[in-house]
Amino acid sequence: MTSSWLSPGKSAAVALTFDVDAETGVLSMDAKYAKHAMTMTHQAFGPDIGVPRILGILKDLQVPATFYFPGWVAERRPNLVAQVAEAGHEIAHHSYSHVPASSMTAAEERRDFERALEVFKNQGVDIYGHRAGLWEASWQTASLVAEYGLLYDSSLMNDDRPYHVPTESGSVVELPPHWSLDDWEQYAFLPAPQIGSIIEEPLKVLSMWKYELDAMRRYNSLFMLTNHPFLTGRAGRAEALRSLIEYGQSCDDVEFVTCREIAERAKADDSLATRPLQQPDIEAGVFPTS
């Protein structure tokens, strides 16, 4: 008999996750944006205003969350991770630089991965999970997660429930995110780098996410919400987040859980799928190449 990753009587679980990318969200596209003062302050709004505001909401509503930090951000603001950890939330690994693993060599990815671990170690924080910058994992990412003793990854999209990913260094739990539960597509806008088009209203996003949560209750899914403090920390969006959490709390069959706890439960749940990773073999001439 297997134990279930969902608590008894629960139809879906909500993982509230916040990617505190700050400046790395832009610098990982090109270091030249460091010269853009407005853009840098736009990103700094995340740790400066967004994080405390979101912590306030989580405290008001008494829900746990998981905060993913690029090592660079944690290093640059020495008290930031501690501030979040002391509020009782989980801290997780979001690469060092936020540069997509898919654009690094294997050695570069490993170095970036290790360097973030060093930062967290120096700050005395225990880390259980990892998420690739831009979710752009490479085919070795899950293996790194296993090799360095972490429990879970949250970058791959092969399911909307947790699943097991075997690697050469052991199995990890995957907690799949998805673009549709991310605030980036809805809210992000900058002229340089050129990001976004129209900006959506929080009420649309709230409606969409409540509908998604209801649908996931039918399918017993993991509602993996990914928000960015520099985006969702803005007043109207923060209010929509508050309403979303309140809605979830009003559903008796929905539970709010940290990524770590879901991963620990999923680790023990043999009924979840096992999905090996393998890069597709591409026959020459079938697809165009640049």
Task: Identify residues 61-90 at the interface with a second copy (CB under 8 A).
Answer: 72, 76
Under rule CB under 8 A, residue 208 binds a second copy: yes
Is residue 46 within 8 A of residue 233, CB to CB? The reply is: yes
CB-wise, 42 or 228, nearer to a second copy? 42
Under rule CB under 8 A, residue 200 binds a second copy: yes
Under rule CB under 8 A, residue 289 binds a second copy: yes
Compute the least distance from the CB of residue 148 to a second copy, in Å: 17
Binds a second copy (CB under 8 A): choice among 164, 236, 249, 264: 236
Is residue 25 within 8 A of residue 230, CB to CB? The reply is: yes
Binds a second copy (CB under 8 A): choice among 99, 116, 119, 145: 99
* Sign of the Cα pseudo-torsion (222, 109, 117, 58, in order): negative
Is residue 61 within 8 A of residue 249, CB to CB? The reply is: yes
CA separation for the pair 211, 217 (Å, rounded) = 10
User: What is the number of residues in the chain?
Assistant: 290
- Which secondary structure element, helix H or strand E, spans residue 12, and what is its range? strand 12-19
Under rule CB under 8 A, residue 160 binds a second copy: yes
Number of H helices, E strands in the chain: 12, 9
Compute the least distance from the CB of residue 151 to a second copy, in Å: 19
Under rule CB under 8 A, residue 201 binds a second copy: yes
Tell me the three state secondary structure of residue 187.
helix
Under rule CB under 8 A, residue 106 binds a second copy: no
Tell me the three state secondary structure of residue 121.
helix
Structure tokens at 171: 């199995």
Compute the least distance from the CB of residue 70 to a second copy, in Å: 10
Under rule CB under 8 A, residue 53 binds a second copy: yes
Q: 1-30: which residues touch a second copy (CB under 8 A)?
A: 23-24, 27-30
Binds a second copy (CB under 8 A): choice among 35, 107, 168, 250: 35
Under rule CB under 8 A, residue 192 binds a second copy: yes
* Percent of the chain that is helix, strand, coil (3-state, to 5): 45, 15, 40
Under rule CB under 8 A, residue 147 binds a second copy: no
Under rule CB under 8 A, residue 272 binds a second copy: no
